[in-house]
A and B are shown apart, each in its own frame.
Chain A
């Protein structure tokens, strides 16, 4: 079996556990790099004049697909590489701008072993700036149930995301 032991297994986790917070100082580079990485060429993610005049915002702002990538990083920083995302639901409330320090926080909201023996962890995650929630993410991530299990090897009927 796998000589690489999982960083985190299902039995290590309890409802109410907090994930380590992630703080990041957002710059114009963060926004532009994130937009380009997601091939989102719309000007409000790289052209400040356009964002001010056409969107009425105070600056360029992080795009949605890149925020998804930030949520993914936040989750897998915690699970390690054996953690396998099954499902994410995002809700965007407000924009994130250069100069903001964004903070991602998460809590374990649910634990569930499905009928195939896959260990699922539900997470409630927020992305905030100065305490104001800018977006939320509910995620369902599979963790190994023991050192010999690997959610990535589940296929077909054994993977129920």
Chain B
């Protein structure tokens, strides 16, 4: 008989939740992002410069995950879109009600360009043995999110380290739980 933990470990290295974005990479959203952080990089604002340096306009590399966060409403959509489903699956399957993201790595490959239609998939890379931290007792896991463009070329990979846990009695939560 296999345990829940064995079932979870069997998912390591298996691509899950492949999906193609609902709409192409939007240039106006690039400008919204640049405006939000006052990013004046001419690659995003000056077409002749973008043509010369990057063979045409590109999106800021750190916008990678934005292209899979949907608009707030879309006709006919009934289910809320939940990013990083593998993370929430692990919390549920391992019975760990709380979770924090401890760090996030982004690696950038082929530039993302306006009009690109990206595809993503999630791959569980590791699950630790049970550990106890100041937050509680649980497990660390690493999930990769791979992004490819319509030519099948990798544009980037994000790695998230999560810690799913049960609180010690009488303690509060952590500060970094932005994606729990």
Contact A89 B104 (CB under 8 A): yes
Give chain B's interface residue range (CB within 8 Å of chain A): 35 or more
Report Cα–Cα, A68/B52, bound state, in Å: 26
Partner of A4, one of B53, B61, B63: B53
B-side interface mostly: mixed
Shortest distance in angstroms between B147's beta carbon and chain A's nearest beta carbon? 13
Contact B36 A34 (CB under 8 A): yes
Chain B residues near A (Cβ < 8 Å): 29, 32-43, 49, 52-55, 60-63, 65-66, 69-72, 101-111, 172-173, 175-176, 178-179
Within 8 A of B (CB), among A42-101: 56, 63-66, 68-73, 76-77, 81-82, 84-95
Query: Which chain A residues lie closer than 8 Å to B43 at the CB level?
Result: 81
Given contacts A73-B34, A95-B175, 12 further A-B contacts (CB under 8 A): A4-B49, A33-B35, A38-B33, A56-B173, A64-B104, A69-B36, A73-B37, A81-B49, A87-B106, A89-B103, A92-B101, A92-B175
Query: Which chain A residues lie closer than 8 Å to B106 at the CB level?
Result: 68, 87-88
Report Cα–Cα, A68/B103, bound state, in Å: 12
- B32 — nearest CB in chain A belongs to which residue? A37
Contact B105 A88 (CB under 8 A): yes
Report Cα–Cα, A32/B42, bound state, in Å: 25
Shortest distance in angstroms between B104's beta carbon and chain A's nearest beta carbon? 5
Report Cα–Cα, A71/B108, bound state, in Å: 15
Query: Which chain B residues lie closer than 8 Å to A37 at the CB level?
Result: 29, 32-33, 35-37, 66
Interface centre among B35, B39, B41, B178 (most CB of A within 10 A): B178
Contact A81 B104 (CB under 8 A): no
Query: Which chain A residues lie closer than 8 Å to B101 at the CB level?
Result: 64, 92
Chain A residues near B (Cβ < 8 Å): 2-4, 24, 30, 33-34, 36-41, 56, 63-66, 68-73, 76-77, 81-82, 84-95, 150, 152, 155, 159, 161
Query: Which chain A residues lie closer than 8 Å to B42 at the CB level?
Result: 81
Contact B176 A85 (CB under 8 A): no
Partner of B41, one of A4, A76, A91: A76
Partner of A72, one of B35, B39, B104, B173: B39
A-side interface mostly: mixed
Report Cα–Cα, A89/B53, bound state, in Å: 25
Report Cα–Cα, A2/B55, bound state, in Å: 12
Shortest distance in angstroms between B52's beta carbon and chain A's nearest beta carbon? 6
Query: Which chain B residues lie closer than 8 Å to A95 at the CB level?
Result: 175
Report Cα–Cα, A90/B65, bound state, in Å: 14
Contact B41 A161 (CB under 8 A): no
Contact B108 A86 (CB under 8 A): yes
Shortest distance in angstroms between A112's beta carbon and chain B's nearest beta carbon? 16
Indicate whether A87 sits within 8 Å of B107 (C-beta atoms), given known contacts A38-B66, A72-B61, A82-B53.
yes
- B156 — nearest CB in chain A belongs to which residue? A161
Query: Which chain B residues lie closer than 8 Å to A93 at the CB level?
Result: 175-176
Query: Which chain A residues lie closer than 8 Å to B36 at the CB level?
Result: 30, 33-34, 36-37, 66, 69
